């Protein structure tokens, strides 16, 4: 049993390669939606290094992300096995065709995970490195008024113990985004994020499977007060489990962070013995609803541009068992950007986020920040 637990804990940790907020230049989520409209540039930030190059018709991108970092810095991380170290950068590449009528792009991110012991039915395991794959389709139409990005993260790990027991871990994550810029001064844009996540772990004849489905719908409005551009918007987020054995905290679960950290989903599943002793189902499917009004404020000069986005809303989590009550909590967040252009085409960028609803956090106070430069290049 210890061998099985060790294998799967390591295997799930490998999924750190699939869901970071920013992978390479555009990410494995929906950051790719900017690819077809971004101009030529070289970008160097704390977590990314890469470029976009092309002309009015063809463009390409290449870059990498420094991964989770670790004891030896941004390129090498300490493995759960103290005798191993992992090479953690994630690499992506993309190519696109652009025109005023329709533009289309294809991207791919290759992600390296942790080393782990693979037995293949032998008593003497081999040390291997798992890989994650994220293909993405990007499409713009109507002179870029309509935009969409559909990345699909896939990780699959198969093994067989020395006793001949087959083991399999499969995870798939879809984070699609659709935007429509209306051209209207009042209702400026509409966004829809559609999410689906699937996770399956098998140990012999025992299997545990999780599926979640959700959406994030946003309406943006516009106004200008003196030199400040206002963009209030409302965000409605709903996530639900498609089965009755997923805790509320893991709705739309992050294939990386939630499955990697100590005390996480993966460890809880294994400690509960769900692969050998069945599982304890809840009475109801988990669900969560967030209503979040926000206000975007933009102002700038030839040198400095500022953007601030405070938001305050309500979270509602559905009760999992009969007799329990739904829970209500306050959701708040403050996000900001500063861009400084001391000389033409060279930009220093800083972003920060503070709140209990920040990306990649649960209900705890969190502060996220990054900084770096962007060098805007001429067309080829």
What whole-number distance in Å separates Cα of residue 368 and Cα of residue 375? 23
> Which residue has better confidence, 217 or 202?
217
Mean pLDDT within 175-186: 95
Mean pLDDT within 275-297: 81
In this prediction, residue 161 carries a pLDDT of 81
In this prediction, residue 133 carries a pLDDT of 86
Average pLDDT value over all residues in the chain: 80
Confidence of residue 46 (pLDDT cuts 50, 70, 90): confident
Q: Hey, what's the torsion of the CAs at 119, 125, 126, 132, to 10 degrees?
A: 40
For the chain, how long is the longest CA-to-CA vector? 74
Give pLDDT tens digits for 338-379: 999 999 899 999 988 887 654 444 444 555 678 899 999 998
In this prediction, residue 103 carries a pLDDT of 97
Q: Residue 10 pLDDT more than 90?
A: no
Residue in 117, 143, 146 with CA at minimum distance from that of residue 130? 117
Q: What residues does 312 pair with on adjacent strands?
A: 332
Please tell me the chain's helix, strand, coil percentages from 3-state DSSP, rounded to the nearest 5. 10, 55, 35
Give pLDDT tens digits for 346-356: 999 998 888 76
In this prediction, residue 367 carries a pLDDT of 59
Cβ–Cβ contacts within 10 Å for residue 72, how many? 12
> Which residue has better confidence, 65 or 138?
138
Give pLDDT tens digits for 64-108: 876 554 444 556 777 777 787 776 677 889 999 999 999 999 999
Residue in 52, 101, 45, 103 with CA at minimum distance from that of residue 74? 45
The sign of the torsion formed by the CA atoms of 285, 236, 151, 17 equals: negative
In this prediction, residue 255 carries a pLDDT of 60
């Amino acid at each position: 049993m210890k061998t099985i637990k060790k294998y799967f804990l390591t295997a799930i940790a490998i999924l750190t390669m699939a869901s970071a907020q920013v992978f390479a230049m555009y990410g494995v989520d929906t950051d790719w939606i900017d690819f077809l409209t971004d101009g030529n540039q070289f970008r160097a930030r704390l977590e990314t290094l890469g470029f976009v190059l092309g002309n009015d018709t063809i463009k390409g991108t290449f870059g990498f992300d420094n991964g989770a970092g670790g004891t030896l810095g941004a390129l090498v991380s300490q493995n759960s096995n103290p005798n191993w170290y992992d090479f953690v950068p994630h690499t992506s590449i993309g190519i696109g065709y652009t025109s005023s009528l329709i533009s289309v792009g294809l991207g791919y991110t290759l992600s390296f995970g942790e080393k782990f012991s693979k037995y293949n039915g032998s008593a003497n395991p081999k040390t291997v490195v798992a890989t994650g794959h994220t293909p993405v389709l990007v499409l713009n139409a109507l002179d870029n008024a309509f935009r969409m990005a559909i990345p699909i993260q896939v990780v699959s790990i198969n093994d067989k113990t020395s006793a001949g027991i087959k083991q399999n871990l499969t995870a798939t994550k879809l984070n699609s985004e659709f935007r429509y810029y209306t051209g209207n001064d009042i209702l400026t844009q509409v966004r829809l994020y559609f999410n689906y996540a699937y996770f399956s772990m098998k140990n012999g004849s025992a299997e545990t499977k999780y599926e979640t489905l959700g959406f994030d719908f946003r309406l943006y409005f516009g106004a200008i007060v003196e030199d400040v551009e206002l963009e209030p918007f409302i965000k409605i987020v709903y996530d639900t489990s498609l089965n009755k054995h997923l805790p509320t905290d893991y709705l739309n679960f992050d294939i990386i962070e939630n499955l990697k950290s100590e005390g996480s989903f993966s460890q809880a599943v294994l400690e509960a013995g769900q692969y050998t002793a069945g599982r304890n189902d809840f009475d109801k499917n988990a669900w969560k609803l967030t209503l979040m009004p926000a206000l975007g404020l933009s102002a700038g000069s030839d040198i400095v541009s500022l953007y601030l986005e405070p938001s305050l809303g309500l979270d509602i989590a559905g009760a999992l068992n009969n007799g329990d009550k739904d829970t209500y909590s306050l959701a708040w967040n403050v996000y900001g950007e500063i861009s400084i252009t001391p000389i033409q085409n060279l930009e220093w960028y800083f972003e920060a986020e503070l709140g209990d609803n920040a990306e990649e956090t649960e209900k705890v106070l969190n502060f996220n920040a990054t900084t770096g430069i962007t060098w805007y290049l001429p067309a080829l």
